[in-house]
Structure 1
């Protein structure tokens, strides 16, 4: 028996389901056997499109296809078209805004004469006055100034290169002078150290016994020896300067004597 129990315990027959499936299969076979299946016939049969319904216009179709929920102006901006404002803002009526629309969307998107894109005589005069105040110099004057600046820059570079070349020629002399200065400094430091050691040794010989250099007596005698040594060196330098001056005077006298003798010989020759 074609029966079954449901979840709530009731007995359900399977015959209606079997009959419905067989009936649907039979109908499908009948439809498939038809060779000349017509869409219009099906529409009339199943009432998909009622008779006498007029077709939709392109505008209505576009409205139904528009699911973005954007207003017309914003949707035009999305598709790079001129926004259709109803002049809801004050700037929509300004010349600047209309010029911008012409420049962005072309002549066909303009609702005003294309001549609005050109400045008026007053605007041209104002612009000329503004540029004359902002740029008082002409283009030729600016070119001359730039050329002069470039010439001065090239001259400064040339002078710097020349100075570098001259310094390179003096480099060997500078190195020799530096080495001589360093050697002189080292010699002075060595002489000062030897002098200090000599004075310390003289002080030790003065006492005749080994004494601590930090002792007050040692420091006193060392100061006396240092003072006497400096005085002696000063006298030696003074004598050296005097000897140098005397030698210079003697040399000058010799040159004068030679000059006088040469003049006398020339006078004698002229007398003969």
Structure 2
């Protein structure tokens, strides 16, 4: 074969190879384009739902309705606060005896359960600004001679275990006194009073008043005492969670300012709050 024909064929073959390589190179570049876009920052993750622990056995603050939903004054307050603060929350029924541990262990992000702010509790958790004023109240049978706190000193007294009612009665009767009967909830203690198992119950006024109003046949009366200090309820968060605490306080201030708090209070207690929970 003449050399000029060989050279021509070689040139054509080389040109074809170069064209194929060029096409292949273009294909690799095109395939790399999606990979480049895949390295772009992912869209922001959805906000985490905060788990709110509450002992739903404390009407009218928190309880479960016929459908099993957790409802009450505290629940409505936290829902309103969360909306103002841009938080998403869900409520989980949590027994009182383990409620503080659930916060410390991280199983709950915050707690709302008619929790009185005390110096002792402040050592292990942080509290929002107060949202409700409360006071201890004594419940006795209507024919009881009890007229003041000191009068229950020689009686069998029911309290909810681990509450401030438990604390004040423990100081009067002695913490280990066998005359103190401790219950899982205040309504259980009040039922025991109705049955005659105890002669008095000491608990937060909101719960006692609500129970008596809905159990008129029980034949109860209430007794107040000047020695009972005003207690303030707060929303609890894990110790040191300053960011969440600030957002909760922001939400609380917002619902006080725009009248939402007053409307929630009136819907549960029938009156306007005297100090809007401050």
- Under TM normalisation by the shorter chain, which class is it? under 0.3
Q: TM-score, normalised by structure 1?
A: 0.16
Query: Greater helix share, 1 or 2?
Result: 1
Query: Greater strand share, 1 or 2?
Result: 2
Which structure has the larger Rg?
A: 1
Q: TM-score, normalised by structure 2?
A: 0.16
- Tell me: higher relative CO, structure 1 or 2? Use CA pairs within 8 A at least 6 residues apart: 2
